[in-house]
Amino acid sequence: MSDSTLPASGVALATPVRVAVARKRRSKRMRTLFPYLLVAPAVLYLLMITLYPGAYAVYQSFFLVRFNSWTPIGFENYADLFADREFWAALWNTLVIGVLALALECFFALMLAYFAYRDPWVQGWRIAFLVPMLFMPSAVAFIYKLAFLDGRIISDLLMRVGLISENLAIPSSIWLSRATLILADVWQWTPFLFIIFVAALQGQDEEVEEAARLDGASWWQIFWNISLPLMRPVIAVALVLRGIDITTMFANVFIITKGGPGGATETISYFIYRLGFKSFNFGYASAASVIMLVITIVVAQLVVKRAFRSGRT
Amino acid sequence: MASQRGSRGESLLVRYLILTAWALFCLAPVLWFLSIGLRPRTEIVTPQPIYWPTFSLDAWHMIWSDWPMAAYLRNSVLAVIGSVLIDLVLAIPAAYSLARYTYRGREDIGFYILSTRMMAPAIVAIPIFFLFRNMGLLDTVWALMLIYAAINLSVVTWIIRSYMLDIPKELEDAARTDGASDMRILWEIIIPAILPGIITAGVIGAIFAINEFLFTLLIASTSRAYTMSVALANFTGGSDGVIYNAIALVAFLAFIPVFLVVVAIQKHLSRGLTMGAVKG
């Protein structure tokens, strides 16, 4: 690079200068391209698992797929899907379970984080609360399956304290089945939000709080008027990340309820799995995937982009 | 740090009551599940739940003799480590590019990488299944490695990028005036400086990979590729139903190393979990 600064004086130097200029031009182009080259392998890799499957799903969604025979059927899969009550039910279940679980998790995590963040034992609380999050989701699903269904522990405990008089019929109750899934999610993932909220609270300026406290503000006023507004961007990011994972809930449904009773706990992920890999109706399942994909892209553009912009310092 | 609000003793009490209650809510099911793993099968699904079981190592012997547990472990470890390595090789240069250069389309590329985190596995599950089938990779650890790497690449890239943004630019500029190339700066200055960030990203990617369920369920069909996460769901003995004590023990086997590693990187956890959006 430094040789390009050679003085271009005299005819004898013409050739080396030309070489130097050419090298400089090449290195300049190289420098513009360099950041793209660095990021390209990652982007290509991700395109392979997003663009390719996306295009494949769109293509397949216009076919009736029976093992290895593909019959083009136009928009029939989509028409069937929009008329399919199970599809709408799956969307509805995903929404109901997701919103309830997310609201509970956010409430508990905020409360616990606010109580714990200036506590001398905050490390200890964090480790204790973390434990459920570090179990494999499939193992957590079995804990809840055993406690609520097969082992009837919850029924037994509730009977012992006299809240109910006979075993709960969880598998046949729509809301108890949903509640089992919600509770399992709250148990495992509240710590996710808790850890993030504690970090955000610890990052806040202690002096502002102290000043407010000296002015006689109650802890609730401090929380509501000072801490919460400052935390808003962090809460947005955390809820977006958790929201994504809740709406893709699969292992719990697969292991605990299998979508029952009567499809009341079938989430959209389980719906796609069941149609594709249990009924082998791949074209139809692909149509459902495409609709999910469109919803995802819209949500990503509207919500996630904004959350991550504001969350960045 | 400890600003004791001594004047309000009762609020302190309420605080500790609530925190303790949640800690119990977290730990009680875990301890109970551990007791499931250490009892004989006959005392698990019973007409009346048994709270004080007899101690037994049946499950421990069973998981090693009745199932290819060593193979499940090997598959999990290989797939997880392989996927994290793929991620780091791809993510470090990508993060460097996103954090340190200004160029057209940078924001869009960064957001595209982030947005792949939002893809529900179910959406791409069917095409990925056919892709691997056509490549002859179904039921192999290679397929798991590739798919775990793809799932986590966004998270790993964004975490590393966030740590790179924290490094003062002067550090690089000094090296650059000494004539160091960009690659050398990345290798000799940036990477050592953000090593904790790289480790955090790797650990978080590894945890997600260990937990992965849906893709593994579709890709693996024998002990050639079954991981612990999915093998659990197959611990059923036909008419005997689910074999809970074996499941519980395997769950704890996987839990202990994860727990130790996470406690070690505790300080970085909030930042890792938010892909760098929250600085812990």
Q: What is the pLDDT of residues A43-97, one digit of tens each?
A: 999 998 888 888 988 998 998 888 778 888 888 889 889 999 999 999 999 999 9
Mutation for testing the B interface, residue in A60, A77, A136 having most B CBs under 10 Å: A136
- Please say whether the beta carbons of A97 and A181 come within 8 A: yes
Residues A42 and A86 occupy one common structural domain: no
Any B CB within 8 A of A201 CB: no
Out of B94, B120, B150, the one facing A38 most closely (by C-beta) is B94
Mean pLDDT, residues A220-231: 87
Residues A81 and A33 occupy one common structural domain: no
Any A CB within 8 A of B159 CB: no
Which value does ipTM take for this structure? 0.86
Q: Which B residues 101-120 touch A at CB under 8 Å?
A: 101, 103, 106, 109, 111-120
Residues A209 and A93 occupy one common structural domain: yes
| Residue A238, C-beta contacts closer than 8 angstroms, at least 6 positions apart | A192, A193, A196, A197, B274, B278
Mean pLDDT, residues B38-61: 83
Report yes or no on A54 lying in a domain: no
Q: What is the pLDDT of residue A3?
A: 43
The domain containing residue A151 runs over which residues? 76-311
Give how far A100 is from chain B: nearest CA, Å. 19
Cβ–Cβ gap A277/B218 under 8 Å? yes
Any A CB within 8 A of B208 CB: no
Residues A155 and A290 occupy one common structural domain: yes
How far is residue A161 CA from its own chain's centroid? Answer: 37
Report yes or no on A235 lying in a domain: yes
Average pLDDT of chain A, as a whole number: 85
Q: What is the pLDDT of residue A244?
A: 84
Residues A156 and A280 occupy one common structural domain: yes
Residues in chain A: 313
Looking up residue A268, the CATH number of its domain turns out to be: 1.10.3720.10
- Per residue in B181-239, pLDDT tens? 888 888 888 899 899 999 999 999 998 899 888 899 999 988 888 998 888 888 776 66
Number of structural domains found in chain A: 2
Report yes or no on A31 lying in a domain: yes
Residues A43 and A105 occupy one common structural domain: no
Q: Write out the residue limits of the CATH 1.10.3720.10 domain(s) in chain B.
A: 68-273
Residues A108 and A147 occupy one common structural domain: yes
Residues A177 and A238 occupy one common structural domain: yes
Cβ–Cβ gap A132/B90 under 8 Å? no
Q: Give the DSSP H or E segment for B262.
A: helix B244-264
- Per residue in A166-204, pLDDT tens? 777 778 888 999 999 999 999 999 999 999 999 888 888
Q: What are phi and psi of A69, to 5 degrees?
A: -105, 125
How far is residue A313 CA from its own chain's centroid? Answer: 21
Chain B environment of A46 (Cβ under 8 Å): 112-113, 116, 150, 153-154
Give how far B117 is from chain A: nearest CA, Å. 9
Chain B environment of A130 (Cβ under 8 Å): 259, 262
Residues A301 and A224 occupy one common structural domain: yes
Q: Give the DSSP H or E segment for A63.
A: strand A63-66
Which of residues A14 and A252 earns the better pLDDT score?
A252
- Report residue A306's pLDDT band, with 50, 70 and 90 as the boundaries: confident
Q: Which CATH number fits domain B68-273: 3.40.50.2300, 1.10.3720.10, 1.10.357.10, 3.40.50.720?
A: 1.10.3720.10
Closest to A207 in 3D by CA, of A221, A194, A225, A226: A226
Q: Which residue has the tokens 């809740």?
A: A246
